[in-house]
Amino acid sequence: MKRVKTLTSSTLKESMKKGGCGECQTSCQSACKTSCTVGNQSCENHK
């Protein structure tokens, strides 16, 4: 495509297939402790 550069495709829908294992880090155990930030974490299964 000439006018569109796609940075990332349909990752959320894909993740329904085998997501939800629950092994990833709890968000407040990272650095925050006062805000809920989930989108910046990584999937445990991709490590």
Partner 1 sequence: MIHQYKSNGYNIVMDVCSGAVHVVDDVVYDAIAIYEKDGEEAVEAGLSGKYPKEEIEEALGEIRELQENGLLFTEDIYEQYVTDFKNRKTVVKALCLHVAHDCNLGCRYCFAEEGEYHGRRAIMSYEVGKKALDFLIENSGNRRNLEVDFFGGEPLMNWEVVKKLVAYGRSREKECNKNFRFTITTNGMLLNDEVTEFVNKEMANVVLSIDGRREVNDRMRPTRNGKGSSYDIIMPKFKEFAKGRGEKSYYVRGTFTRYNLDFAEDVLHFADEGFDQISVEPVVAPPEADYAIREEDLPQILSEYDRLAREFIRRKKEGRGFNFFHFMIDLSQGPCVAKRLSGCGSGTEYLAVTPWGDFYPCHQFVGQEEFLLGNVDIGVTNTTVRDKFKLCNVYAKEKCKNCFARFYCSGGCAANSWNFHGSITDAYDIGCEMQKKRIECAIMIKAALADGD
Residue 15 CB contacts under 8 Å (≥ 6 apart), including other chains: 43
Q: Which of residues 5-44 bind partner 1 (CB under 8 A)?
A: 5-13, 15-16, 18-20, 22-44
Q: How far is the CB of 6 from partner 1 (least distance, A)?
A: 5
Q: How far is the CB of 47 from partner 1 (least distance, A)?
A: 9
Cα–Cα nearest to 45, from 14, 8, 6, 18: 18
Residue 11's Cα: distance from chain center in Å?
Answer: 9
By CB under 8 A, name the binding residues for partner 1: 1-13, 15-16, 18-20, 22-44, 46
